[in-house]
Each structure stands twice: as C-alpha cells, then as structure tokens.
C-alpha cells in the first residue's frame, strides 16, 4: 500500500509571515495537493520568549487569504492533534524519557557557568563549540541524587562521534556530514519545553508527515533529525529543502529590502493570488515558459524535482509584473477597495465626488501593479503646478509643438460643457487646424497638462484634471 502524502507548514508565531516562510507553505501545499494528500498547519510555539502577540492570527489570516486551507490544524482539528506544540508538552517529555531508557539520551546537569567556560575555551582554541559530554559519565546513583536534590537538568541526545551521516534530498541529492561535528543536542529543556529539533521529529512522526518541506538552512540539521528517527526506530520522511530567498546582492532577504512580509504586501494592495503566483516561481520552474498560473493550475503541474538549488532572488519588479496581470482582470468595485484607501490617506478628496474618484481608478487600472502605487502615479491630479523633466523639455522643442498647445488651449477655453466628448472634439479640432496627428498631436498636450510623456487615455486625464487646471497648465507654453 502506498503511503498517503502528508505535508505540514509549521511556522513559529514570532510576527508577520516573511515571504520566504510563505513560499515554504505554498510548496508544502502544492506537494500535498498534487499527490491528493493532506496539508497540515502546526503552530510551533515552544520558544515562548520570541512569541509576538497576534502572530498566530497573522498565520491563519495569511493562509486563508492565499487559499492555503489546511486539512488539519489548530482551528479545524483532526486526528493527530493538538496542533499547537505548547499543548503537547507531556508527549515530548514521554518520548525524551523513552530515549533515556533506551540509552539514546541522558540527563545533563551542567550549569550555565560551566557551559560558558567550555565555550570560552573553544573560542581560545578557535574551534566550534560542542558540548563535551561531561554528564554522559554520571552513574545512575549520581543522577538519582541530583534529581532528588532538585537540581535542574536538560535531556541530551547521544550522538555518534565517528563515521558519516548520509541522507537524500529531493533538491540537493545525496548529502553527507561527519558525525564528529554533531553535538549532543538538547532535546528537552529545563523548563519542560522541547527544543525545536526534537519537537519537529516527534510531531512529524506522530502526525504521519511523509514529506518535510523547509528552507535549506536546515540541511546541516537533518542528520540530527535522522539520528532521532533511528533512535526511535521510526521511518524517515522525504526531504525537500528549498533554496534561500535573497536580494540582488545575494544576501538573505530582510525587511529593509521592501515589503518582506505577506501582510506588508497585502496592506500595500498586492493581491494574494498574484503573490502566490510569484512566490511559486521563486526557485521553481514549470516545464513550459508560462508564468501566470492559478493555484489550481499550479497544483496540477507542480513537480518538486524542478526546484532549483541556487538561491532565489526576490525581484520586486517581477512581483509587480505578475501582480499587474491580476490587477488588470479585477472588477472595478474590487479595485476601488485596494486603491481608494491609499488615495484618501495621501490626498484630500473632500472636493472630489465618488464618480470622479472611481473614474480615476478605472483609467489607471492598466497602469498600476499594486493598489498603493496609484498614489504616486496620480499625483498630477492633486498638485497645482507641474515641473517638466529634461526629456519632456527636449520633446517640446520639436516643430509645431507650440502651435499644437496654442490651438488646443483655444479650443479648450471655448468648451462650455466639460465632457469627455467635447474634450475629444477639441483634440480633433487641433489636429485639423495644425495639421498634425499621432504622437505629434497627443504628446505635446499630454506633457503640458500632466508633466508626463505616458499615461492613461488623454481625454480621461484632461477631464479629471478639470478645465481650470488644464487651462492654467497650457498657459505655461508662453514661458518655455
């Protein structure tokens, strides 16, 4: 019987979900659903000191918005719960004690002072710090006496100190690590909480996780996990380690590189389907040259063997290109929801009607990549004066540009009913009167009324600027 594919996304509630973590969730979801398996959400909150209030809700909200709906998890339950690690402490204690009874782990009573001394010694000798196994030598009588006296202890795993650990990873192939570099890692801390490494292995086994998808920073930790699986006699999962997400300088992505969390992106008006589409291509490629995929399409075509080993560069321009595809397909009422709040925050709209604002959003639908971008591309509608850059000034030196502006200004002044149709008539009258068309007709007008060489439909732009503003800006030709 073929084992059912079960993957998990196991974030720690330490803040907003970073795009690298979200990509791990996406890949875990795609692997599960491609093979008709289950996707599990598990909250790893064993490090209580790093928890951020509200972070668990951010995790739930991000998964829901992105369509990564878990089959099992803290909110919807399942047969393998609890799905929050702080609710599983007795389970970890039981399995840690089991390893002690199997002589695969031992009690360690070393104080922080002693550990600090051997750390300093390692620094002096310029070698990596590894616990020296001091407490492995304690007799059972000594252990019992220390426990009776109330001395604090941790439980450490016994690691082999010779030989080589080898395992296979779907992305990186065969991986090999010398066992002498593996420390006798702590499994259970003195406060009763498990370490990240230990809780992961116990939970992955008990929840029957078949495929572990995580960042490649865990490549070197995997031998430790595998020695735990061997100590218990458990079957190991399939490993899929993902390349790191980096900036253009090949440094690990951080918040200083822009919106590095999903909620930052979402609040800036990026669409969840656009973000999921982009992140799915970050370190993975389909067999075709296509780049726009729905989540359902990704499920059908996702092949983990096509994940790249190389670091994945987080390219905001590429993200914008992908997201713009989804912006263009939005219904106007939905586009208004992700753009108008940003306009209201940036500009005074008290003298603008809803129709005016909606019209503004509509004409810029094909010119923005995300909701908040509408603020910077529409500033020409909210300032009194505009300044022409050198490129615009150079163009305005072309033959007949001054004639176009003078003629158009005359026709615009004669409009008594400010409508788009009448504006189009003024443009056509200018074309006939001056004898120009195309670029030489539209570009001078656009430059003088907007200060830009490109933009949405010119009649709509002129209409929204208003007759008085347009006339005032056209009058600037005399000072050129």
In tens, the pLDDT along 430-445 reads: 999 999 999 999 999 9
Rg of the chain over Cα atoms, rounded to whole angstroms, equals 31
Interior CA angle at 304 toward 302 and 308, to 5°?
A: 115
Q: What's the rounded Cα separation, in Å, for the pair 240 and 7? A: 11
Active-site residues, by number, are 255
Q: Are 404 and 430 in contact (CB under 8 A)?
A: yes
CA distances from 42 to 139, 183, 189, 233, 450 (A): 39, 27, 21, 24, 52
Q: Which residues contact 428 (CB under 8 A, 6 or more apart)?
A: none
In tens, the pLDDT along 87-99 reads: 999 999 999 999 9
Tokens coding 326: 């989804």
Whether 258 shows a pLDDT value over 80: the answer reads no
* Residue 478: predicted pLDDT: 42
Q: Which domains does the chain have, with CATH numbers?
A: 89-242 (3.40.50.620), 330-373 (no CATH), 390-479 (1.10.10.350)
In tens, the pLDDT along 152-207 reads: 999 999 999 899 999 999 999 999 999 999 999 999 999 999 999 999 999 999 99
Tokens coding 410: 């005359």
| pTM, 2 dp | 0.91
Q: In this structure, what is the dihedral angle of CA atoms 449, 454, 458, 463, given to the nearest 10 degrees? A: -50
The mean per-residue pLDDT over the stretch 401-424 comes to 95
Listed residue (26, 60, 73) closest to 273, CA to CA: 26
Interior CA angle at 442 toward 441 and 447, to 5°?
A: 120
Distance of alpha carbon 90 from the chain centroid: 34
In tens, the pLDDT along 379-392 reads: 999 998 888 999 99
């Amino acid at each position: 019987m073929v084992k059912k594919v079960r993957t998990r996304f196991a974030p720690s509630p330490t803040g907003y979900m970073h795009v690298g973590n979200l990509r791990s969730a996406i890949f875990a979801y795609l692997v599960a659903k491609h093979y008709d398996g289950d996707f599990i959400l598990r909250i790893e909150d064993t490090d209580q000191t790093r928890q951020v209030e509200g972070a668990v809700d951010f995790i739930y909200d991000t998964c829901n918005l992105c369509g990564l709906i878990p089959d099992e998890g803290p909110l919807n339950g399942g047969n393998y719960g609890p799905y929050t690690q702080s609710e599983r402490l007795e389970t970890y204690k039981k399995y840690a004690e089991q390893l002690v009874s199997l002589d695969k782990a031992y009690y360690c009573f070393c104080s922080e002072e002693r550990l600090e001394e051997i750390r300093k010694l390692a620094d002096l000798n310029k070698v990596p710090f590894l616990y020296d196994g001091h407490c492995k030598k304690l007799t059972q009588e000594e252990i019992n006496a220390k426990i009776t006296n109330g001395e604090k202890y941790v439980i450490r795993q016994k690691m082999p100190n010779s030989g080589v650990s080898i395992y296979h990873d779907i992305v990186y192939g065969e991986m090999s690590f010398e066992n002498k570099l593996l420390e006798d890692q702590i499994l259970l801390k003195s406060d009763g909480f498990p370490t990240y490494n230990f809780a992961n292995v116990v939970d992955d086994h008990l929840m029957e996780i078949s495929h572990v998808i995580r960042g490649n920073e865990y490549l070197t930790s995997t031998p430790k996990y595998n020695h735990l699986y061997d100590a218990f006699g458990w079957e190991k999962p399939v490993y899929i380690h993902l390349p790191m997400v980096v900036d253009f300088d090949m440094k690990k992505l951080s918040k200083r590189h822009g919106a590095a969390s999903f909620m930052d992106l979402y609040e800036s008006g990026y669409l969840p389907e656009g973000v999921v589409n982009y992140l799915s291509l970050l370190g993975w490629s389909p067999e075709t040259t296509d780049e726009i995929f729905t989540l359902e399409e990704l499920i059908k075509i996702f092949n983990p063997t096509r994940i790249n080993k190389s670091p994945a560069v987080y390219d905001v321009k590429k993200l914008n290109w992908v997201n713009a595809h989804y912006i263009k397909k939005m219904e106007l009422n939905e586009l208004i929801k992700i753009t108008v709040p940003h306009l209201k925050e940036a500009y005074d709209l008290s003298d603008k009607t809803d129709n005016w604002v909606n019209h503004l959003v509509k004409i810029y639908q094909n010119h923005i990549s995300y909701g908040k971008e509408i603020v910077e591309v529409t500033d020409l509608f909210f300032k009194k004066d505009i300044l022409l850059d050198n490129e615009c000034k150079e163009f305005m030196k072309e033959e007949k540009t001054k004639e176009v502006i003078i003629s158009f200004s005359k026709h615009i002044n004669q409009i008594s009913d400010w409508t788009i149709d009448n504006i189009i008539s003024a443009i056509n009258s200018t074309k006939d009167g001056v004898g120009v068309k195309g670029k030489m007709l539209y570009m001078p007008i656009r430059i003088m009324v907007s200060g830009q060489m490109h933009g949405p439909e010119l009649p709509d732009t002129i209409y929204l600027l208003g007759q008085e503003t347009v006339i005032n800006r056209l009058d600037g030709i005399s000072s050129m």
